[in-house]
Structure 1
Amino acid sequence: MIRNITLYLASAMLLLGTASCSPDDSIEQAAAQSVEQFEAAGVQGMKNDALFIAEATSANMLQVQLSELALEKAVSPEVKETAQVMGEGHRRLMEDLQNTAVQGGFVVPNELGRAHQKVYEQVSTETGIGFDLAYIKRIREEHDNLLNRYEDMAENAQVMEVKQFASKQLPLLRQHLQQTEALEERLGNI
């Protein structure tokens, strides 16, 4: 009992120490907290899996937030329709991700990481057709990055649940990337 309390207090102090090291990036904080928890439990080599779970959480929060923003600000019906599809898809993906994180004992950020926050801010400052073009360009770029990262984790994750999660999401991410590429091409010809 005392050992458990000591371990808990030590873990809490480590978590607080990590939070103070990089207070401005929720992805780094969550990944570091996950790694510390795994190492405290004697599990090594979890940095890549922990970083992926944290990055994926922030990236999916970004997709949901951008889709909500596009539903408000977009002028093109095609962009609004795409935003609706993206939002629904990434909400479902986020549910799967949360389940995977809980099952695997991973810490997830509850706010956007620094880079994702910058993307949101950049897109949100645009208006009119400029917003539509910026939104589609950024979600296409983000999906390209997501697809590469998920493909890597489908092959190289340490935790089987993380591998399975990443593999399961690949068809959706490929579909989203194709949709955004096609829409970006159509909008670019306006």
Structure 2
Amino acid sequence: MKRIVFASCLALASSIMVSCNSGTTTENKDAVDSAKAVNKEIKPVDKSVSDFAVKAASGGIMEVELGKIAAQKAVNPRVKAFGQMMVDDHSKANDDLKSRAAMENITLPSNMSDDQQKMIDKCNKKMGKDFDKEYMDMMLNDHKEDVDMFKKASSDLTDSTIKDFATSTLPTLQKHLDSAQAITGKQ
């Protein structure tokens, strides 16, 4: 009996270690896929709840990283300020999500997805006004998707802890979308 319990614990620990992998080798799944695999295996909550939490965490990580780049690299002071707002607000939201996910035993990715990293790399290659335009266009599109996703989660999720996170974060995301629209002059 002790061997079975030990083997189960070892398998779970291996899964968790995979989810924390930085995703730097092509043989391994990216951090988002790894977190989803662990959640699928241990089924801490309804799949829609854990999938939302994983996607929100990955997106939040990307927002912080891009915000750091924009705060340093942008030439337009409004874009610099927007970047810093992303760092501040999404760092706070990420911390909130981490603590709520821990309460629900949901595994979150330690890094953003490979696709999100590619978007950052593409944006980071730009300079000057080209960077500002690329970054703000990304933020506009991303926050449109985020607002829609968080609205849906606020009404549809079955887990109250993660649903409350979506509901409480939604006004901040709407503020980000409104700011991105004002800076870009686009709807």
Q: Which residue of 2 aligns with 1:175?
A: 175
Residue 31 (1) aligns with residue 33 (2): no
- Structure 2 gaps of 5+ residues are none
Structure-2 separation of matches of 1:137 and 1:173 = 15
Letter in 2 for 1:65: E
- Structure 1 gaps of 5+ residues are none
Structure-1 separation of matches of 2:167 and 2:146 = 12
Letter in 2 for 1:155: S
Structure-1 separation of matches of 2:41 and 2:123 = 35
Structure-2 separation of matches of 1:92 and 1:10 = 32
TM-score, with structure 2 as normaliser? 0.87
Describe the superposition over 1:119-139 as per-residue Cα deviations: whole angstroms up to 9, x where unpaired. 111111110100000111101
TM-score, with structure 1 as normaliser? 0.85
Q: Which residue of 2 aligns with 1:184?
A: 184
Letter in 2 for 1:102: A
Identity of aligned residues (%): 24
Structure-2 separation of matches of 1:24 and 1:127 = 31
Q: Which residue of 1 aligns with 2:90?
A: 90
Alignment of 1:66-105 (within 5 A): 66-105=66-105
Structure-1 separation of matches of 2:91 and 2:179 = 17
Letter in 1 for 2:31: S
Letter in 1 for 2:37: A
Structure-2 separation of matches of 1:72 and 1:134 = 15
Query: What CA RMSD, in Å, does the superposition of the two structures yield over aligned residues?
Result: 2.4
The CA deviation at 1:112 is 1.3
Moved more, 163-172 or 177-186: 177-186
